[in-house]
């Protein structure tokens, strides 16, 4: 389901990787090159309500959007992990680059 070995979390070889595995659905390539993101899962909750929060960072929002669409069956193949999870919310946030922010800074003369 995940695309990794259970004992030591090693990613399966491409030949053994199920098309429905989470790894298969979230590895996105364009022109033969993987569109990488920085990702982290963080546990949250209380004793009665808990789960994991996925946090992904990318230089382009569309990379995350493509991954989410692939997980949800955009091409007839659904991520097997979605059979066992329940999303409760989601959001995109923008962190502008320093050059972009500097355009809003006042002139040094004014």
What confidence tens digit (pLDDT) does each residue in 43-70 have? 999 999 889 998 999 988 999 999 999 9
Determine the Cα–Cα distance for residues 34 and 59; give it in Å rounded to an integer. Answer: 13
**Among candidate residues 84, 88, 86, the one with its CA nearest the CA of residue 1:** 84
Bridge partners of 38, per DSSP, are 57
pTM of the complete model: 0.76
pLDDT at 110 over 70: no
Cβ atoms of residues 80 and 18 within 8 Å: yes
What does DSSP assign to residue 12?
P
Q: What is the pLDDT of residues 17-50, one digit of tens each?
A: 999 999 999 999 999 999 999 999 999 999 998 8
Residue appearing with tokens 């789960």: 51
């Amino acid at each position: 389901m995940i695309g990794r070995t259970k004992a030591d979390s090693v990613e399966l070889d491409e030949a053994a990787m199920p098309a429905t595995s989470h790894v298969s659905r979230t590895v996105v390539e364009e022109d033969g090159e993987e569109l990488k993101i920085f990702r982290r899962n963080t546990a949250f909750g209380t004793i009665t309500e808990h789960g994991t929060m996925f946090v992904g960072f990318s230089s382009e929002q569309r990379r995350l959007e493509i991954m989410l669409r692939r997980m949800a069956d955009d091409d007839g193949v659904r991520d097997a992990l979605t059979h066992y999870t329940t999303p409760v919310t989601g959001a995109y946030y923008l962190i502008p680059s320093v050059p972009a922010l500097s355009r809003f800074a006042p002139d040094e003369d004014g």
